[in-house]
Chain A
Amino acid sequence: MAGAAEQQIHRDPALFYWILLPITVVMVLTGILRHYLSTLLQTAPKRLPLPKIREQRSLLRSANLRMNYAQISPAAFQKRREWWIESARDGKFLADPDARGKGKPNPMSDPAMMEGMMGMMKGNVAMMVPQSLIMGWINAFFSGYVIMKLPFPLTPQFKQMLQAGVGTRDLDVRWVSSLSWYFLTLFGLQPVYNFILGSNNAANQVTQQMAQSQVNPMGGAEDPEKIFNAEAENLEVVEHYYILDGVEDRLLERLQGTV
């Protein structure tokens, strides 16, 4: 089949109007629908009780101190660090001081945890349902014939997937059925969504899956006391320097070129 004559198949031009165009339009619209669905399904952040907020914000405070320590003088940094570590060791920041030393809470027993998992399930459903629906739709209506020719050759391994239901052994892999157009639109429509919905859209499940695989679903289930101890240790090993150290030298160095 890679011989002298290139395989030619004459296709009805109506294939484009009745298959290619509908699939493309449906894919774009599903992307938009998915975007709005995920914004609608997003649960508003729940109001936390005061001690819980204090716990989170204290952690944040230490992290900020750790990141921006260069902006304050050594004395100020020393003071803040000592105060924070001491308070953390005493458990002053903990939301529930009585629960110290009881270990990791069971994620199933905490209603807040359950809510977080529900939110993730909703996101997954919003991704999976349209995807499988469209796959089923294309397989039900548009399978069994080739509709287009790819402009680049592929290895025969793709034959199984891209020529599903065609069943001609010697047909060039470049002739593909409608399912491959679905895959092409699935991966290639991201810029279209970007232009329609703005760049922070949730239309494409591929990028979303990538983002989701990086978050640990059980991230909040740690024992808060352990987190505080780890944070205190991190804070303790910071080697402080002051951003204004040697600032006059840097200034002179910069001015030297201009004068």
Chain B
Amino acid sequence: MLDERELATRPIVQESVQHNARTVSNIRALTASLFGVAAGTLGLESFPGFIFYAVGTAVVSVLIFAFKAESNPKAYFWRPLQDLWAGDMFGGLMSFVLTWTLLYNLAKA
């Protein structure tokens, strides 16, 4: 009940939430594809490739945190841990695998 009142006095606007989530998701999708290009060109295989993706997304998270959220994620995300740090991590994975496979085969052929 107290939480509900808190939300009523400091409302969360749905459009802004969606806009922020979409921004994060766009950044993630683009960078994931680029990481795939990099991993494929480097010729990474199996685990190193996925670790490369994890490290890359972590770096991107830090960049979003530092530049997009201006080190103050509470102002932009309701649940910063879920929406910023882990948001859409697996949405980008498929496009990472796609470009990784493509570039890996182009580079090795």
Interface residues in chain A, defined as those with a beta carbon under 8 Å from any beta carbon in chain B: 11, 13, 15-16, 20, 24, 70, 148-153, 181, 184-185, 187-192, 194-195, 199, 241, 243, 250
Contact = CB atoms under 8 A, between A and B. Distances in A.
Given A16-B106, A149-B105, A188 B49 contact: no
A187 B106 CA distance: 20
Interface of B: 5, 8-9, 22, 26, 29-30, 32-33, 39-40, 44-47, 49-50, 91-92, 94-102, 104-106, 108-109
Nearest to A188: B98
B9 A188 contact: no
A189 B29 contact: no
A243 B9 contact: yes
Contacts of B47: 152
Given A151-B46, A152-B45, A190 B29 contact: yes
A184 B97 contact: yes
B97 A153 contact: no
- Of A152, A190, A194, most B-chain CB atoms within 10 Å: A152
Given A188-B97, A190-B94, A195-B30, 13 more contacts: A15-B109, A20-B102, A70-B8, A150-B101, A151-B46, A151-B49, A152-B45, A184-B94, A187-B94, A190-B91, A191-B92, A241-B5, A243-B9
Contacts of B101: 148, 150-151, 181, 184
B33 to A, nearest CB: 6
B40 A185 contact: no
Contacts, number: 71
Nearest to A150: B101
A191 B8 contact: no
A191 B33 contact: yes
A11 B108 CA distance: 10
Given A151-B40, A151-B46, A194 B29 contact: yes
A187 B90 CA distance: 12
Contacts of B108: 149
Contact of A152 (B46, B105, B109): B46
Contacts of A70: 5, 8
A244 B8 CA distance: 10
Contacts of A11: 109
- Closest 7 interchain pairs by CB? A188-B98, A191-B29, A188-B94, A152-B46, A187-B94, A151-B104, A148-B105
